[in-house]
Amino acid sequence: MQYQVVNTGSLNVFEDGQTVDKASLKEKNLIAKKLKPVKLLAGKGDLTKKLTVKVDKASQKAVKLVEAAKGKVEIKIAPKAPAEESAEVPA
């Protein structure tokens, strides 16, 4: 799977206390497409804002940086494909 990468330092464009998701990332031109998954990585300077960041994946270091700024990271869990039903019926 190919992710759109967002660095923690790039998130300083948001206001303190804001929730950051794909829609807001697209609005600030930090990602190209809302439908592609987003991965948060540590980089491009320090994060100075307290944010709630909702992404598809994040590095451990990125999560620690967000938490150090008193924010939090919520990882979106992709829905699992429905399990195939067994042809056998229990007796």
pTM of the model as a whole = 0.81
Domain 4-75 = CATH 3.10.200.10: no
Report pLDDT for 45. 85
Residues 7-53 have pLDDT tens digits of 999 999 999 999 999 999 999 999 999 999 999 999 888 899 999 99
Query: Is the pLDDT assigned to residue 64 strictly greater than 80?
Result: yes
Query: Is the pLDDT assigned to residue 65 strictly greater than 70?
Result: yes
Residues 32-45 have pLDDT tens digits of 999 999 999 998 88
Secondary structure string (H, E, C) spanning the chain: CCCEEEEHHHHHHCCCCCEECHHHHHHCCCCCCCCCCEEEECCCCCCCCCCEEEECEECHHHHHHHHHCCCEEEECCCCCCCCCCCCCCCC
